[in-house]
Amino acid sequence: MEVRAVAWADFHGVAELRLHRYDQIDADPDYGMISAASRPTLGEIASWFGELHRAILEGRAVCSVAVEDARIVGMCSVRPDGNHRETAHVGVLGVEVREGYRGRGAGEALLRHALEACRGRFEEVQLSVLPVNDRAQRLYRKLGFAVYGTAPRAFRRGGKYHDFVLMTRRIDGAVGSAPRGVPPTSDDRASSAGPLPPA
Ligand SMILES: CC(C)(COP(=O)(O)OP(=O)(O)OC[C@H]1O[C@@H](n2cnc3c(N)ncnc32)[C@H](O)[C@@H]1OP(=O)(O)O)[C@@H](O)C(=O)NCCC(=O)NCCS
């Protein structure tokens, strides 16, 4: 498996991964990725990908992909929420690995790659994760993210509500350095106590 920065030529592979999300949501209503009101067309995905690529070229976003069997099997992006000067130093992270390729280190490799690329672009990286998504939360803690709050009932799918667990991490040192300014909970103490062992 190779992890690298996304390229313009990755469009079709990225689109396939994007559409895979909608199959995952159909199969599991608690699947932890947000989605559009309906399955996007290839044209809508092209608009989204074009915007993402523009943001990357302008230094406002980073995006890493995992490639295996000549296929894009995972993606991790970090982008600001909106286009505001006051919040441009904060990146919002999303990560997804294709079913069948999970639990083999792709998610961790993607996060490490993307967080390295965040240096010099973002000061804080934030994310939202469902309480039921143990695998993702464990991975985030392992890479130095700490919980800073909860957004009650922020996620609704099919009439069922979930809170969002809000996590954050500073980008001012090597990947694995402790987040600052976040009081650790007992759960977070281990992950925010110092640098991680190298990959
Ligand atoms: C969450 C996700 C990105 C993790 O990627 P992954 O490739 O499956 O994870 P990795 O194989 O890199 O494992 C990284 C860590 O995750 C945790 N993990 C992996 N498999 C796990 C499992 N079956 N149960 C619990 N934790 C697990 C471990 O901490 C693991 O590190 P370790 O193996 O050193 O203990 C991936 O599972 C995924 O795309 N899930 C669906 C979409 C999603 O939920 N995205 C996140 C939304 S917030």
Tell me: the pLDDT tens digits for 121-162?
A: 999 999 999 999 999 999 999 999 999 999 999 999 999 999
The whole-angstrom separation of Cα 6 and Cα 54 is 12
Which residue would you say has higher pLDDT here, 175 or 102?
Answer: 102
Confidence (pLDDT) at 172: 82
Q: How much distance in Å is there from the Cα of 98 to the middle of ligand 1?
A: 11
Query: Is position 199 within any domain?
Result: no
Query: Is position 143 within any domain?
Result: yes
Arithmetic mean of pLDDT over the chain = 90
Confidence (pLDDT) at 199: 65
Torsion sign (Cα): 41, 44, 46, 48 = negative
Query: What pairs with residue 65 in β-bridges?
Result: 4, 75
Query: Is position 176 within any domain?
Result: yes
Q: Whose CA is nearest to atom 45 of ligand 1?
A: 96
Query: Is position 188 within any domain?
Result: yes
Residues 31-52: pLDDT tens digits? 999 999 999 999 999 999 999 9
134 Cβ closer than 6 Å to some ligand 1 atom: yes
Domain range enclosing 17: 2-192
Mean pLDDT for the stretch of residues 108-133: 97
95 Cβ closer than 6 Å to some ligand 1 atom: yes
Mean pLDDT for the stretch of residues 91-114: 98
* Distance, C-alpha 4 to centroid of its chain: 15
The whole-angstrom separation of Cα 146 and Cα 178 is 9
Torsion sign (Cα): 184, 148, 107, 159 = positive
Q: How much distance in Å is there from the Cα of 138 to the middle of ligand 1?
A: 7
Query: Is position 198 within any domain?
Result: no
- pTM reported for the whole predicted model: 0.88
**DSSP class of 131:** T
- How many domains would you assign to the chain? 1
CATH of the domain at 90: 3.40.630.30
Give the β-pairing of 160-170 and 146-157.
Answer: antiparallel
133 Cβ closer than 6 Å to some ligand 1 atom: yes
Query: Is position 197 within any domain?
Result: no
Query: Is position 70 within any domain?
Result: yes
Confidence (pLDDT) at 121: 95
Task: From the CA of 130, give the closest atom in ligand 1.
Answer: 48
Query: Is position 25 within any domain?
Result: yes
Q: How much distance in Å is there from the Cα of 58 to the middle of ligand 1?
A: 30
Confidence (pLDDT) at 112: 98
